[in-house]
Amino acid sequence: MRFEDGSRLKLGREADIEFNQLRFFGDSGMVDTRLRLRKGRVKSEVRDRVGPDGRYEIQTREVTAAVRGTVFVLEQTVNSSRLEVHDGAVALKRLDNETRISAGDGATVTTTEGVVEKVLPRIEGMSISRTGTSAEAPVFAAWAEDPGHGFIRYRIARKGLADNSHSYQLLDTGLSDSNRLRLPASAEGVYQLTLQVVDQQGFNGVPQQFEFRVDSKAPQQFELKLSGGAPGKRIL
């Protein structure tokens, strides 16, 4: 669902929410949104606060998540609340304490242990290469093994080399429990590979995006760019 200020709320399967407050202050742009998550998982993309009375809060059994200008996932389980912050920061309010959780981090909240912070799982040591010298040789993505990883969600899409748009054609999507993935990257083009780690505890990492080019007219190198980071360049 989409709110008046442009914020979005995506409900997971079997999620149960209750609106405690939903107000829009006319032309001021201020929105007061307060929800209770009874069970299940929700993802929020929240715009920056406008005005002193603007707020976006989700309350669970154990904690209240107060946010501005962020992307996060909150889940209510039988015994705990679980938070994953993908962008920005979330303030967790419990009793008289407030804990700030930043992007790339998460937390579990229980009535007995309070807020327990953790670093969300992520891909490290990414490489993309051919297994042979010919243009038809298969292309593989590989990354460092981590015993804490459970499985990987992947998505790969492609556009033409001369295509300057942001529109990619989806080639494949799925799950993998390996640290090596064969890619459908035989044709020339610009490829976009998105990976998201889910760890053994069920925490979802921040989706990581990698871009690479397959170009027969370029030198036999490889170009790999990590979204949000400094690109390490080679061209395949």
d(CA 211, CA 232): 10
Q: What are the pLDDT tens digits along the chain (236 aa)?
A: 888 778 899 999 899 999 988 877 655 556 788 899 999 999 999 877 655 566 889 999 999 999 877 899 999 999 999 999 999 999 999 988 999 999 999 999 999 999 999 999 999 999 888 877 777 788 899 999 999 999 999 999 999 999 999 899 999 999 999 999 999 988 889 999 999 999 999 999 999 999 988 887 766 545 555 554 333 333 34
Q: Indicate whether 20 and 102 sit together in one domain.
A: yes
Q: Indicate whether 138 and 174 sit together in one domain.
A: yes
User: Among the three residues 77, 99, 119, which one is the final residue of a domain in this structure?
Assistant: 119
Pairing of strands 89-94, 64-67: antiparallel
What lies within 8 Å, CB to CB, of 171 at 6+ separation is 156, 157, 158, 184
Helix, coil or strand: residue 186: coil
CATH number reported for the structural domain that contains residue 46 in this entry: 2.60.120.1440
**How many helices (H) and strands (E) are present in the chain, helices listed first?**
0, 19
Q: Indicate whether 209 and 170 sit together in one domain.
A: yes
What lies within 8 Å, CB to CB, of 230 at 6+ separation is none
Residue 222 falls inside a structural domain: yes
Residue 1 falls inside a structural domain: no
Q: Could you tell me which of 175, 185, 187, 186 has the C-alpha nearest to residue 211? A: 185
Residue 147 falls inside a structural domain: yes
User: Among the three residues 96, 119, 142, which one is the final residue of a domain in this structure?
Assistant: 119
Q: Indicate whether 104 and 135 sit together in one domain.
A: no
Residue 234 falls inside a structural domain: no
- The pTM score is 0.83
Q: Indicate whether 154 and 172 sit together in one domain.
A: yes
Q: Indicate whether 153 and 57 sit together in one domain.
A: no
How many folded domains does the chain comprise? 2
Structural domain containing residue 220 = 127-226
